[in-house]
Amino acid sequence: MDIKVPAVGESIFEALIARWLRKGGERVVKDEPLCEIETDKVTLEVNAEAEGVLSILAREGETVKIGAVIGTIDEKGAEARPEAEGAGAKPEVGAAEAKPEAGAAEARPVTEAAREPEPAAGAGKEPQPGETIPPMSPSGRKLAREMGVETRELKGSGRGGRVTREDLLRGEPAQPAAPSQEPSAPSAVEGAAPPAPARGAVPQPAQEPAPEPAPPRAAVTAPPAAPQAEPEQRVTRKPMTPIRRRIAERLVSARQQTAMLTTFNEADLTEVLRLRKKHGEYFLKRHNVKLGFMSLFVRACCQALQEFPEVNASIEGDDVVYHNFCDIGVAVGGEKGLVVPVLRGAESLTLAEIEQQIAGFAEKIRTNRLAIADLEGGTFTVSNGGVYGSLLSTPILNPPQSGVLGMHAIQDRAVVRDREIVIRPMMYLALSYDHRIVDGRGAVGFLKRVKEYIEEPEEMLLEA
């Protein structure tokens, strides 16, 4: 049986194989998820339509056409050869061939160590009584012995006169003492004066003894510097997913094809918080879902849109289309980007129904079951950047819609009430709108009405 890329929408012609959930050669059962595919709108799973052994034809990251065969299922149950079986034997041969080289590599350090020159006399050795040696670390003393550097002659540049690695690399190696040719008895008196010259002899200037040739100086090799990372290693380059490409196209289109403008206001959420605190537990028991902020803001927008219909309109050619319904898009962030599922007929939904649908969208996004139908349409959008901690932002339009409301984080601020300064939970509100349809008066009036509904939620609920 062939595994084909399913059709997910009229405007979608290709998909990306995001990842395979099962490996080639494995036995799968009917309805088991096999892989995830991404389109420019959704991510969804492809399930097995029969039981058998899986064979994979399309790799992860490959873009395929809708209806293309990306794998097969052998329903006869014949054991398919695993994809990695052929490659599994090769490393054993390579490992066997590499054994002599490994042995040679092990013997190499012994030979090289045997050729290391002996350290110069007194280089890096411990100080004797009465001698002074600059402070240095044990690793520094070891390096001094290997380099043949006389540490007593060095002046440390580190803290407290400590000899650093750089001091050792700049220092000259110590001259080894000339080895004696043969052992001889000690002189009768050490340090005795030389014999007096004969009478009448002309004193000759003392001649310096010819210096014996010094042994070859041990090569001082600085440790190799750490290899600098290539520019390609400092970045990670990945192709954009279809969803991210679509988001990018839509955002650029919104800025280029609309006359977008944003107006701001702020709302006092004292009464909303009181309402949630008073009725939240009852709401949860009654409807099995929490009473959140989003349902109250969606309700406020629906009622304000009926008073300012131009914010709920769109342009089609030379016409302005006014929608007599409120399909509210709710921006929800997922692992692979922002998606905006739509609440159909939100003006007729209760607070509980709004919260239940939003929770359902979140679960679909988490399990990659969001359908194209969940995203199509929409006449107005509500986005809550406050869940990420945003205090103030400019939401971007979702064409052909002409308005989007941005919610933000709740913050206690000092405000004036009845000529007194009080602390209240405040939220900044932002409305971005298409100035081709909505003028400033309508935009400001709409946002002010939303503010009033939020500050007096009981009035809003009585009007609903």
Catalytic residue numbers?
A: 435, 439
Specify whether the CB–CB gap between 43 and 243 falls below 8 A: yes
* Residue 363 burial class via C-beta count within 10 angstroms: exposed 0-12, middle 13-18, buried 19 and up: exposed
What interhelical angle do 293-307 and 440-455 show, nearest 10? 140
**Sequential DSSP letters for 247-292:** HHHHHHHHHHHS-EEEEEEEEE-HHHHHHHHHHHHHHHHHHSS---
The total of other beta-carbon atoms located within 10 Å of residue 427's CB is 23
Alpha-carbon gap, residue 433 to 448, rounded angstroms: 14
Dihedral of the alpha carbons of 408, 414, 417, 418, in degrees to the nearest 10: -170
The β-bridge relationship of strands 332-334 and 52-56 is: unpaired
- Rounded-to-integer distance, Cα 398 and Cα 307, Å: 21
Phi and psi at 260, nearest 5°, equal -80, 135
In one-letter notation, the amino acid at residue 197 is P
Give the DSSP H or E segment for 436. none
- Three-state secondary-structure class, residue 354: helix
CA-based nearest residue to 396, from 381, 377, 378? 381
Of the candidates 209, 405, 416, 204, the residue with the CA atom closest to the CA atom of residue 304: 405
